[in-house]
């Protein structure tokens, strides 16, 4: 599907993967509506894009803010053909962290509920255009990583939401996709590694193996926002159902019955148990 004459909304577009996706979509001819909370950063990215781009303030944790942004986008462009639901955050910590319950609630509210709130606000326009919705999940939806419980739960919820929404919306002509990236060089990763120096050191040691398919290589792999943004733009063009980035990480999805079995967890604990003890202390 050519993106020329198509209007695509991108949330969390002020920086990182969202900004990269907005650039990639714009380069392919789309008119792009950039949503986020940081007015200055949104204005900078929009100015860089020039024509066929505009920014709108939206806080995905607030229904009124999200609904207002949806109305403003429609008033400005008259249509929404695709929605890229990218906005999210991560706050590393373990169950023993002092503020673990508040952290869990904040991440679920932003990543999972915020994603549903966003697509619901734009739903009338997407139903009218028989549009496409791309949800940001993660490889964390397939396999757990200590210190990332809330993030993994939110991304697994998004993956499940994508599967269920396909059943709800197929007869309406609306298509649902989900993208599952590996670690990306964004503020989310930097925040996590600052809180978990042991994790950061381990990934740094394994970085030379980063492009080798398999668990060791993937742990050392860091993707650029631009790599993921291009895949997302490609998915919007093709109205794709699901993509893992890189593709080599897809085996973790198909291998979930083994990875999440008693045997799989035993092996993971044997390999990474020493790291988890340190991460628990660091996040506390």
- Residue-wise pLDDT tens for the chain (284 aa)? 789 999 999 999 999 999 999 999 999 999 999 999 999 999 999 999 998 999 999 999 999 999 999 999 999 999 999 999 999 998 888 888 888 899 999 999 999 999 999 999 999 999 999 999 999 999 888 877 778 899 999 999 999 999 999 999 999 999 999 999 988 888 888 888 888 888 888 878 777 776 666 666 677 788 899 999 999 999 999 999 999 998 877 777 787 888 788 988 888 788 778 888 888 888 88
The CATH code for residues 7-188+221-254 is: 3.40.50.720
pTM of the full predicted structure? 0.91
pLDDT of residue 274: 82
Whole-number pLDDT of residue 8: 98
Q: Which of 22, 12, 16 is nearest to 118 (CA)?
A: 12
Catalytic (active-site) positions = 151
Q: Structural domain boundaries of the chain?
A: 7-188+221-254
């Amino acid at each position: 599907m050519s993106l020329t004459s198509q209007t695509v909304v991108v949330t969390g577009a002020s920086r990182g993967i969202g900004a990269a996706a907005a650039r990639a979509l714009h380069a392919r001819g789309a008119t792009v509506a950039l949503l986020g909370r940081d007015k200055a950063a949104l204005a900078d990215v929009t100015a860089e894009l020039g024509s066929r781009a505009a920014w709108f303030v939206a806080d995905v944790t607030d229904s009124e803010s999200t609904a207002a942004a949806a109305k403003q986008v429609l008033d400005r462009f008259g249509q929404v053909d695709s929605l890229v639901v990218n906005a999210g955050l991560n706050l590393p910590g373990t169950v023993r962290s002092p503020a673990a319950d508040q952290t869990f609630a904040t991440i679920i509210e932003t990543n999972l509920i915020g994603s549903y709130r966003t697509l619901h606000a734009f739903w009338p326009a997407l139903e009218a255009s028989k549009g496409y919705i791309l949800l940001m999940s993660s490889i964390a939806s397939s396999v757990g990583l200590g210190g990332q419980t809330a993030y993994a739960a939110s991304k697994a919820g998004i993956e499940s939401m994508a599967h269920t929404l396909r059943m709800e919306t197929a007869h309406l002509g609306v298509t649902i996709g989900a993208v599952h990236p590996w670690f990306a060089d964004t503020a989310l990763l930097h925040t996590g590694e600052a809180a978990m120096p042991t994790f950061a050191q381990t990934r740094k040691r394994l970085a030379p193996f980063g492009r080798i398919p398999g668990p060791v290589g993937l742990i050392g792999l860091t993707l650029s926002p631009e790599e993921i943004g291009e895949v997302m733009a490609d998915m919007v063009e093709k109205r794709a159902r699901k993509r893992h980035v890189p593709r080599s990480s897809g085996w973790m999805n198909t291998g979930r019955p083994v990875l999440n079995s008693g045997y799989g967890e035993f092996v993971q604990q044997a390999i990474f148990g020493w790291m988890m003890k340190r991460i628990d202390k660091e996040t506390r």
